[in-house]
Copies of this chain bind each other. A is one copy, B any other.
């Protein structure tokens, strides 16, 4: 237990740290880019005047623009959501009525098991080798599942799945009639190579403006599927659970999509520099760590991880996330979406804390 940031005590959970931005706190916690969004997204606010309900599926101009990024799609294949979180929840909800088991690779994003639980899906886990899916284990387990959830690049490991693996999964799931939910929130933030995007008909793609355009607080994500039944069911559920996504935030997302490609390239260059910095720093501390290939997370193995998290927070004002939340006990997850100066300071605190533990 740590002194609770919400005013009452409770077990350690990520929700305690999200949105906590004290000036003297170093947060390796939530995956919040510190780099600003494309500046033009604020310009659209100056003359903003709309206030009425939007379409449940989302603003037409935004869906139209998205459809240009997905060959063969139309704007009717998209639903704009309150971030990727809601897109995932809606996809799970829409598929849960008939689908019962969902295969996830470990370590996984901490929301996946609760979302499965809320939607009465049983999560099945496939093990990975240094964050990479094991073909044999996947092959064995997928045959008993109805849905597969892929997250590449991964939160919390920063690892990407090999091109060969993604094609293997696509082929096998197509043959077996298994739906792939592909959480591609970090697809634009890969250092090593272009991403491979699933192309088969059984894919539900989840994405967000939060990470690519540094727009976490506005909560705009989307779901894409070329199956009208899936899209229709998702829109029907959303009618009752939240209605349209905030219209002003959607307009900002639309503006963000107009940003020059150099915006994203510039961000990726910085993430890569920081990746090198933190990866080398953690290695020098003698920690076992897989080299991130995308996103901005790293998952070092750490002794007494619970006590380390608590000490780091209470004694050193350094926020980290617990590996256990991601199915990786004995680890801490660090987001390196902060400048190298803070990373350096944070690493020093971790060093101090390791000496005490």
Contact = CB atoms under 8 A, between A and B. Distances in A.
A36 interface: yes
A19 B240 contact: no
Nearest to A241: B89
A293 B10 CA distance: 44
Q: How many copies does the complex hold?
A: 2
Chain A interface bracket (under 10, 10 to 19, 20 to 34, 35 or more): 35 or more
Contacts of A252: 248
Nearest to A235: B15
Which secondary structure dominates chain A's binding surface? loop
A122 interface: no
Given A85-B241, A218-B248, 19 more contacts: A10-B232, A15-B56, A15-B235, A15-B239, A19-B52, A19-B55, A46-B46, A51-B216, A51-B218, A53-B216, A85-B243, A89-B241, A118-B237, A218-B246, A219-B242, A219-B244, A219-B245, A246-B246, A248-B248
> Which 5 A-B pairs give the minimum distances between C-beta atoms?
A45-B45, A15-B239, A111-B240, A19-B55, A217-B247
> Which of A21, A49, A51: most chain B CB closer than 10 A?
A51
Interface of A: 6-8, 10, 13-15, 18-21, 30, 32, 36-37, 42, 45-46, 48-57, 74, 76, 82-83, 85-86, 89, 93, 110-111, 114-115, 118, 120, 214-220, 228, 232, 235-249, 252
